[in-house]
Amino acid sequence: MCGIWALFGSDECLSVQCLSAMKIAHRGPDAFRFENVNGFTNCCFGFHRLAVVDQLYGMQPIRVKKFPYLWLCYNGEIYNFKQLQKQFGFEYQTLVDGEVILHLYNRGGIEQTASMLDGVFAFILLDTANRKVFLARDTYGVRPLFKVLTDDGFLGVCSEAKGLINLKHSTSLCSKVEPFLPGHYEVLDLKPSGKVASVELVKFHSYKDEPLHAACDTVETLPSGSFDLETVKSNIRILFENAVRKRLMAHRRIGCLLSGGLDSSLVAAVLLKLMKEINVNYPLQTFAIGMENSPDLLAARKVAAHIGSEHHEVIFNSEEGIQAIEEVIFSLETYDITTVRASIGMYLVSKYIRKKTDSVVIFSGEGSDELTQGYIYFHKAPSPEEAAEESERLLKELYLFDVLRADRTTAAHGLELRVPFLDHRFTSYYLSLPAELRIPKNGIEKYLLRQSFEDSNLLPKEILWRPKEAFSDGIASVKKSWFSILQDYIDQQVDDLLLEKAAEKYPFNPPKTKESYYYRQTFEKHYPGRSNWLPHYWMPRWVKATDPSARTLKHYKSATQE
């Protein structure tokens, strides 16, 4: 996890512009480099490094003797860089996994490069010989990327929007900073003036398709075309274990977030099993956060005892959570209600990890709810086909919600997040299964995933079959949920009259509640006029919900009242 920043065709002095690059210093606390591009005095790269692999040669932009005309700034991890080296006979100059991007590009161009990368990434690749700039981002947008391109060809690129909004330029940049779309690459011509012109934006991978890099994966070819239940369950276990195994690539200590829910518990259990197999010489640290006696703390304690991790509990009170709201919204760059709620706990636990431990590479369970239909409202889906479509929509928008939350809250404290549920191969296989296999069954969401691990003894049965809790709800007590605590506080902060006139003040995504108004007001304080970064609020479907919390849904109420 690093922070990348680049400018092409700047009219202003670069020494002034580079102050914007410092806005993302939290993403790379180990080192910083600012480098001009030879022959283009108004083009430059900025890089904040979190050293996870190759402590000696890992600084960026990466340049190698073989390709002196290529400059690479990337944030991410390429898990198959050794397999690609073996397959194509690449001669690496460093131990940096991202170096493979240069070799792939030289061998087959940008499309093959993006398609062959098994991992998470956002990169800027400059080819001065052919006067091209390339931008690319991984399938689910696990690694963030923002850009601004003016009509006169000035390009700014950054890991977070906050590194672009204060750039100086002769024309206004106000409305043009936008997220770069996941699963896409863009080709831009670099003019002699250092300015650029966009040539094409191409979608290189659809998550339903088996990725091109599957051909050189370490997992043997799976039985295809057979949807026999035992075969399916076996394939799910094989691919999930493989997803965790490939993410063990690190020279820094590995830890794992553990809420005690199914997803993070499965990740932690498989992770610990694999770390033992390769004789990692330190215990796995797991981290849970919650208020005193919250469901998540109690469940996580059970899981940690079962798997044998070195478990840490972070207990916070409502005052600490409320005090963190503004810095959380600043980090997130969004005002989405459920994202802000869920981010507070994750932000506070990340702060603890950074200050009190030496774990840096942090595993987490993001992506499972979207992929395996884990949200409680999936029980209300009119048909398996509509549930499958909703699952795909959620995956497509992950970069606006859960993936955004997970990246920003951990990156704010210089941690690197790894999310095995969003492994390309695992997700494409799961989405290839018949729709009726993937829906909730017997009143239980994620039924197929739970069933797949039922005989593995990885988790206690009560955890494997524990009903879904939203992270923002599970960290509080059952009697009073976190969203209720927030709403009680905010009720005193926002006047009724302000809410009545909310649609006039904020015509785009107008706030409907005081909580929503408070988040929006805080967002506008830091990012005025940029509400379009959030196209719409996250809300459950097929139910007449006015709040995104699972605890407001009838299914949750009936389950907890039984």
Same domain for 381 and 410? yes
Within-domain flag for 561: no
Same domain for 146 and 280? no
Judge whether residue 327 has pLDDT over 60. Answer: yes
Same domain for 182 and 256? no
| Full 3-state SS string of 245-304 | HHCCCCCCEEEEECCCCHHHHHHHHHHHHHHHHCCCCCCCEEEEEECCCCHHHHHHHHHH
The CATH number of whichever domain residue 12 belongs to comes to 3.60.20.10
Would you list the DSSP string of 391-455? HHHHHHTGGGTHHHHHHHHHHTTT-EEE-GGG-HHHHHHHHHS-HHHHS-BTTBTTHHHHHHTTT
Within-domain flag for 152: yes
pLDDT band, very low/low/confident/very high, at 549 (cuts 50, 70, 90): low
pLDDT band, very low/low/confident/very high, at 433 (cuts 50, 70, 90): very high
* Verdict on whether the full-model pTM lies above 0.85: yes
Same domain for 187 and 226? no
- Which residues make Cβ contacts (< 8 Å) with residue 434, sequence separation at least 6? 227, 384
Burial bucket for residue 166 (CB in 10 Å: 0-12, 13-18, 19+): exposed
Q: Residue 402, annotated ligand binder?
A: no
Q: Residue 529, annotated ligand binder?
A: no
Q: Of 108-122, 235-249, 454-468, where does mean pLDDT reach its minimum?
A: 454-468
What is the predicted pLDDT for the residue at 554?
55
Residue 459 near residue 286 (C-beta atoms within 8 A): no
What's the pLDDT tens digit per position in 354-379? 999 999 999 999 999 999 999 999 99
Q: Residue 151, annotated ligand binder?
A: no
Within-domain flag for 535: no
Same domain for 123 and 187? yes
Same domain for 445 and 496? yes
Q: Reading across the β-sheet that carries 155-158, which strands appear in turn? A: 31-37, 40-49, 3-8, 155-158, 146-149, 178-179
What is the predicted pLDDT for the residue at 432?
94
What is the predicted pLDDT for the residue at 295?
86
Same domain for 180 and 236? no
Residues 58, 342: Cα–Cα separation, whole Å: 33
> Domain ends where: 175, 203, 231?
203
The CATH number of whichever domain residue 307 belongs to comes to 3.40.50.620
Q: Among 321, 399, 369, which Cα is nearest to 470's?
A: 369
Q: Residue 97, annotated ligand binder?
A: yes
Residues 187, 156: Cα–Cα separation, whole Å: 14
- Which residues make Cβ contacts (< 8 Å) with residue 469, sequence separation at least 6? 259, 261, 295, 296, 550
Query: Is 2 tagged catalytic?
Result: yes
Judge whether residue 559 has pLDDT over 50. Answer: no
Same domain for 407 and 498? yes
Domain hosting residue 362, numbered range = 222-530
pLDDT band, very low/low/confident/very high, at 176 (cuts 50, 70, 90): confident
Same domain for 151 and 295? no
Within-domain flag for 556: no
Residues 445, 540: Cα–Cα separation, whole Å: 15
Same domain for 238 and 150? no
Residues 107, 110: Cα–Cα separation, whole Å: 9
Average pLDDT over every residue of 413-424: 96
Judge whether residue 543 has pLDDT over 90. Answer: no
Q: Judge if the upstream peptide bond of residue 434 is cis by omega within 30 degrees of 0.
A: no
Calculate the average pLDDT of the chain.
92
What is the predicted pLDDT for the residue at 467?
79
Average pLDDT over every residue of 350-355: 98
Instruction: Quote the distance between the C-alpha of residue 190 and its chain's center.
Output: 30
Q: Compute the C-alpha angle 260/265/266, nearest 5°.
A: 155
Judge whether residue 560 has pLDDT over 50. Answer: no
What is the predicted pLDDT for the residue at 1?
67
Within-domain flag for 210: no
- Tokens read off for 550: 């699972």
Judge whether residue 555 has pLDDT over 70. Answer: no
Judge whether residue 266 has pLDDT over 70. Answer: yes
Maximum CA extent, the chain: 71
Within-domain flag for 396: yes
The domain tally of the chain equals 2
What's the pLDDT tens digit per position in 497-537? 999 999 999 999 999 999 999 999 999 999 999 999 999 99
Instruction: Quote the distance between the C-alpha of residue 493 and its chain's center.
Output: 31
pLDDT band, very low/low/confident/very high, at 561 (cuts 50, 70, 90): very low
Average pLDDT over every residue of 414-422: 97
Residues 239, 431: Cα–Cα separation, whole Å: 13
> Domain ends where: 203, 238, 272?
203
Q: Of 15-24, 389-398, 509-518, where does mean pLDDT reach its minimum?
A: 15-24
Average pLDDT over every residue of 63-69: 95
Same domain for 326 and 186? no
- Tokens read off for 273: 């099993």
Within-domain flag for 545: no
Alpha helices per DSSP H over 176-228: none
Same domain for 151 and 257? no
Residue 137 near residue 145 (C-beta atoms within 8 A): yes
Q: Residue 257, annotated ligand binder?
A: yes
Judge whether residue 170 has pLDDT over 60. Answer: yes
Which residue in 2, 44, 158, 256 is the catalytic one?
2
pLDDT band, very low/low/confident/very high, at 550 (cuts 50, 70, 90): low
Distances in whole angstroms, Cα of residue 182 to Cα of each of 123, 145, 319, 327, 404: 12, 9, 36, 26, 12
Average pLDDT over every residue of 59-86: 94
Within-domain flag for 187: yes
Judge whether residue 478 has pLDDT over 70. Answer: no
